[in-house]
Amino acid sequence: MDSSHRPLSATSQHSIASERHFDQADASQAGSSRLKPGAQLTLMRYLQDLPDADVPPSPVPPRYHTGRLPNSKADDGKPRLLLMGQRRSGKSSISSVVFHKLPPSETLYIETTTRIKKESMHSFMDFQVWDLPGHLDYFDPAFDVDNIFEEIGALIWVIDAQDEYLDAIMRLNMTILNLQQSYPNINVEVFVHKVDGLSEDYKSDTFRDIIQRVQDELSDNGYENAPVSFYQTSIYDHSIFEAFSKVIQKLIPQLPTLEALLNSLCSTCQIEKAYLFDIMSKIYIATDTSPTDIGSYEICSDYIDVVIDVSEIYGWDRPVENGNSEIAETGNNDAESLITMERKGNNYLYLREINKYLALICLMGDDSPAEKKAVIDYNVGVFQAALKQVFPRAEREGPPTVTEE
């Protein structure tokens, strides 16, 4: 794909950057030094793994997933997210934008999905995303229903808000009622999609209408209080990431603990808002329980881009300098970043890499972090330690030279 057609938005920057880098790396170093074993796993190391994200970089089975599935029999199964909905509702676009960082404008050229597309995400939590073509009836006896729905974590139903949606609702309800019998624990998440093209009033009317119709029809069929949630989404802003964040959060059993930890961190350090981000997908897996607004999520998400982009530029494999670079590089493994704004009363941003996959990002108010930085650093350290107890397996890998048990 031609990279220079892409807009200069934050996310596409990133994708241009990584593509270019690979061209150069392949040309100049023939891929050998890129895989140097002594390299440590920090932000940029991680970033370089990005294009290989579908395939775990090592033959060792991934050990990072922590999610437990409501329906899972074997605990080594990956949570599965099913993307379903009418054809042309935007399922493939969503998965390309969220998981492959495709610039939204390029989704116009995605071809119709004709078969089930399975993608696995190797990240803080391993999960699979299945993109199901809209024109098939999955309850046809020809399909192995169990195979599709057995281990799913969440069913995401995409409805095109700009289109006639009655059919979509009918099929959604049919699906819910069918699934309810065999898999009552499935979370059904409805994305009212493509809302970017609607006016503010029309948007909320449509949204309310869809909720109303789904719930009415379900209760008509005797299914009260169905576990169905609704989100307004668009790939042209951050709303799709926010919706995905909430979907993923439901699959994390430790969420209340995480939230409590973040809450206490916030109150101790007078942090306005703290997010725990999955660096690669820019999905946040937890935040403190103070009210969220999309603006602060967007700031944090763009901020990750800045840090990753700069890290990429200066995080190249340097030749060993006088033999002492090994020692120098063990100094500070976790990436850490701080932005202070010029004008008084503006937010400060603080980022700290928590482990290979997660970063903590805090928005801070008027209080100057210059004086409080030490306190924040210390408390974040405590938070990091606590997180290790919550996710013993999510612990950061030591340098590969250390033998493991």
Partner 1 sequence: MNTAKRQKQRKVLLMGKSGAGKSSMRSIVFSNYVAKDVRRLGATIDVEHSNIKFMGNLMLNLWDCGGQDGFVENYLTHQRNHVFGSVAVLIFVFDIESREFQADVISYSNIIRALSECSPGAKVFVLIHKMDLVQARLRAQLFEERAEYIRSASEGFRDTVDFFPTSIWDQSLYKAWTQIIYFLIPNAGTIEALLQQLAEVIDARELILYERTTCLMVTHVTRGTEGENPFTDRFERISSILKTHKQSMAKHTGIPAGSANFAEMQIKTGRFMFFITRLTENTNLAASIPPSEQVFNAARVNILLVRPKFAELDVASKPRPGIQQAFTHSAESEGRERERGDTHPSIIFQHLVPEWVALHMGYI
Given a contact cutoff of 8 angstroms between Cβ atoms, the answer to whether 241 and 344 are in contact is: no
Residue of the chain from 18, 44, 168, 169 that contacts partner 1 (CB under 8 A): 44
- Three-state secondary structure call for residue 315: coil
Per DSSP, 304 falls in state H
Query: Per DSSP, what are the bridge partners of residue 131?
Result: 83, 117
Separation between Cα atoms, residue 357 and residue 344, nearest integer Å: 33
Residues 261-300, mask of contacts with partner 1 (x by CB under 8 A): ----------------------------------xx-xx-
Q: Is 22 in the site for partner 1 (CB under 8 A)?
A: no
- Give the residue with the Cβ less far from partner 1, 170 or 341: 341
- Burial bucket for residue 244 (CB in 10 Å: 0-12, 13-18, 19+): buried
Residues 199-238, mask of contacts with partner 1 (x by CB under 8 A): ----------------------------------------
- Give the residue with the Cβ less far from partner 1, 29 or 292: 29
Given a contact cutoff of 8 angstroms between Cβ atoms, the answer to whether 274 and 322 are in contact is: no
Q: Is 334 in the site for partner 1 (CB under 8 A)?
A: yes
Q: Is 18 in the site for partner 1 (CB under 8 A)?
A: no
Q: Is 49 in the site for partner 1 (CB under 8 A)?
A: no
Q: Is 115 in the site for partner 1 (CB under 8 A)?
A: no
Find the part of the chain contacting partner 1 (CB under 8 A) among 94-102, 206-214, 249-257, 332-340: 332-340
Q: What are the backbone dihedrals phi and psi of residue 145, each rounded to the nearest 5 degrees, phi first? A: -60, -45
Find the part of the chain contacting partner 1 (CB under 8 A) among 40-48, 49-57, 109-117, 174-182: 40-48
Residue of the chain from 61, 319, 323, 392 that contacts partner 1 (CB under 8 A): 319
Q: Is 106 in the site for partner 1 (CB under 8 A)?
A: no
- Three-state secondary structure call for residue 139: coil
Separation between Cα atoms, residue 254 and residue 266, nearest integer Å: 18
Count of chain residues binding partner 1 (CB under 8 A) = 61
Q: How many residues does the chain have?
A: 405
Residues 63-102, mask of contacts with partner 1 (x by CB under 8 A): ----------------------------------------
Q: What are the backbone dihedrals phi and psi of residue 152, each rounded to the nearest 5 degrees, phi first? A: -75, 145
Please give the C-alpha separations between residue 306 and each of 177, 280, 310, 333, 349, in angstroms, as whole numbers. Answer: 45, 13, 6, 18, 12
Please give the C-alpha separations between residue 179 and each of 7, 84, 140, 162, 164, in angstroms, as whole numbers. Answer: 41, 13, 13, 27, 24
- Burial bucket for residue 349 (CB in 10 Å: 0-12, 13-18, 19+): buried
Q: Is 239 in the site for partner 1 (CB under 8 A)?
A: no
Query: Per DSSP, what are the bridge partners of residue 155?
Result: 82, 188
Query: Minimum CB separation from partner 1 for residue 263, in Å?
Result: 23
Query: Minimum CB separation from partner 1 for residue 353, in Å?
Result: 8
Residue of the chain from 139, 143, 223, 316 that contacts partner 1 (CB under 8 A): 316
Given a contact cutoff of 8 angstroms between Cβ atoms, the answer to whether 84 and 143 are in contact is: no
Q: Is 257 in the site for partner 1 (CB under 8 A)?
A: no
Q: Is 174 in the site for partner 1 (CB under 8 A)?
A: no
Contacts 24+ apart (CB under 8 A), 27-35: 33/317, 34/317
Q: Is 321 in the site for partner 1 (CB under 8 A)?
A: yes
Contacting positions for partner 1 (CB under 8 A): 2-10, 13, 16-17, 20-21, 24-25, 28-29, 40, 42-44, 295-296, 298-299, 302-303, 305-307, 309-316, 318-319, 321, 328-343, 346-347, 353
